[in-house]
Amino acid sequence: MSRYDAIVAGAGPAGVAAALTLARGGAEVLVLDRARFPRDKCCGDGLTAGALRGLESLGLDPSAVPSWTVVTDVCLRSPSGREVAMGLPGDGVHAAVAPRLELDAALVDLLRGAAGVTLAEGVPLEGLGLEHDRVRVRAGSEDHEAPFVVGADGAWSPTRRFLGGGGDRGGYRGEWHAMRQYWSGVEGDAAHRLWVWFEPDLLPAYAWSFPLGGGRVNLGLGIVRRPGWRAGGMAPLWSGLVRRPHIREVLGRAEPEGTVKAWPIPASPDPSRLAGAGGRVLFIGDAARVADPMTGEGIGQALTSGRAVARAILAGPAGRPAAVAAAYRRSVEPLHLDNRWAGLLSGVMAHPLGARGALRVAGLSAWTRANFARWMFEDYPRAVLATPGRWGHRALHPPGAYA
Ligand SMILES: Cc1cc2nc3c(=O)[nH]c(=O)nc-3n(C[C@H](O)[C@H](O)[C@H](O)COP(=O)(O)OP(=O)(O)OC[C@H]3O[C@@H](n4cnc5c(N)ncnc54)[C@H](O)[C@@H]3O)c2cc1C
């Protein structure tokens, strides 16, 4: 039986952010992941300004990610076919694309070199047992103990499942369902520009092409699940989408690589889902369902919630888990507020008229174009106007990451 200050299940962006912050604060942490890295994760690979700032603060060096592609040119297409081109500022990086195969491996490399971190790859979480002052974890046929367990194990969170009685609804499959495929040989505009298509049949979600350099893109689409929706409808939607003339035009004679992959995106802001077992088990990232309900972006939220949970554990007494959980909930309140605003805006974007109106306003002037792009890529918190506490210096024009 080995003992730690905390055990983190899952070494995606959320788990790495939590484990690194804990270890840098002096804690002994066990990180387990059922996968060995590098491993793929079905994702659009888009990094918002919020995600980039989080990666920078963890100490990630972009040169460790071979296909890291900085984005400065964006084009949004409204349901009416109107195209609005936007530029992002050059004072640092405000948006980038990084394949998760490479990005997550580079993040896990930060764990390998960190004092205080024991990394167990290829070791799945197999069970949880609650003792009066600690949690026992079964993983890789061994037992480990810690006062706190952090569930960073993604949309299907085995940690939440093993915890049981955690108020989980049966059959939960995420608020969004999204699919992506890599394409290469892109000759059109999409080779260097990031495209978002607000197609009338996908609203309030969208299709995207995110550039990866060398004529390669991450092409994908998301849909918001509605009652009665069936995953079987995604395959015909996908094959029809890649034949749409305006999409083919910007891809040119590109060809798909490999298969199309699909995965849920959990985006239901709910503070009551952040902790269980009286505060001894805490959830972050997709396991806490904190992705943005308007865009489906979740990497920035995974990093934010990971750092927040670590700070709450470091600051709180191990004997008072409820106080730790309360501190964690308080620290992610702004994230939940941003996500609630995003949910409201998603309601506007659900109707073609709403989406057309939003893009018409966005395209009114050079100022609206620049600021809409920054807001969309989470350069400003979604609910910045409603949270005066975040109106610090340059709140509306922060420099990009890695400036
Ligand atoms: C198609 C698609 C496109 C997307 N596009 C974007 C985008 O462009 N930008 C963006 O910001 N977000 C995007 N997202 C959302 C983003 O991928 C997630 O929000 C993000 O990966 C969440 O990170 P995480 O660390 O919480 O979970 P994950 O990245 O899912 O990591 C969870 C980890 O837990 C491990 N694990 C699972 N089970 C166990 C177990 N039993 N024991 C141990 N370990 C386990 C897994 O192996 C994995 O490494 C997209 C999602 C999808 C599906």
Query: From CA 34, how far away is CA 239, in angstroms rounded?
Result: 32
Q: What is the Å distance from ligand 1's center to 252 Cα?
A: 30
Please give the pLDDT value at position 397: 73
Of 197, 225, 32, 206, give the one whose Cα is nearest residue 111: 32
| CA of 155, closest atom in ligand 1 | 30
**pLDDT by 10-residue block (mean), the chain, 403 residues:** 96 98 98 98 96 97 98 94 92 96 98 96 96 94 96 96 68 87 96 95 92 97 82 85 94 94 91 94 97 92 98 91 96 85 79 84 82 76 67 69 93
Take atom 12 of ligand 1 and give the residue whose Cα is closest.
Answer: 297
For 369-392, letters b (16+ CB in 10 Å) and e give bbbbbbbbbbbbbbbbeebeeeee
8 Å CB contact between 237 and 221:
yes
222: nearest Cα among 187, 268, 175: 175
Sign of CA dihedral 5, 150, 23, 136: positive
Distance CA 234, CA 227 (A): 15
Name the nearest CA neighbour of 234 among 219, 221, 246, 247.
Answer: 221
pLDDT for the residue numbered 167 = 45
Cβ–Cβ under 8 Å, residues 46 and 392: no
pLDDT of res. 69 = 98
- Report how far residue 7's alpha carbon sits from residue 149's, in angstroms, rounded to the nearest whole number: 5
Atom 4 (ligand 1): residue with closest C-alpha?
Answer: 43
Q: Which atom of ligand 1 is nearest to the CA of 35?
A: 47
Q: Give me ligand 1 centre to Cα 276, in Å.
A: 21
In one-letter notation, the amino acid at residue 110 is: L
Domains (range + CATH), the chain: 2-68+98-172+268-339 (3.50.50.60), 176-265 (3.30.9.100)
Confidence (pLDDT) at 391: 61
What DSSP state is assigned to residue 37? S
Ligand 1 atom with the shortest distance to the CA of 13: 25
pLDDT of 356:
86
Report the alpha-carbon distance of residue 194 to residue 182 in Å, rounded.
14
Atom of ligand 1 nearest to the CA of 10: 34
**What is the per-residue pLDDT for 170?**
59
Spell out which residues line ligand 1, taking CB within 6 angstroms. 9-15, 32-35, 41-46, 51, 124-125, 152-154, 158, 178-180, 220, 263, 265, 285-287, 291, 296-300, 302
User: Ligand 1 pocket check: which of 33, 48, 307 to mutate, most ligand atoms within 8 Å of Cβ?
Assistant: 33
Nearest-atom number in ligand 1 for the CA of 46 is: 8
Q: Give distance in angstroms: CA of 258 to centre of ligand 1.
A: 20
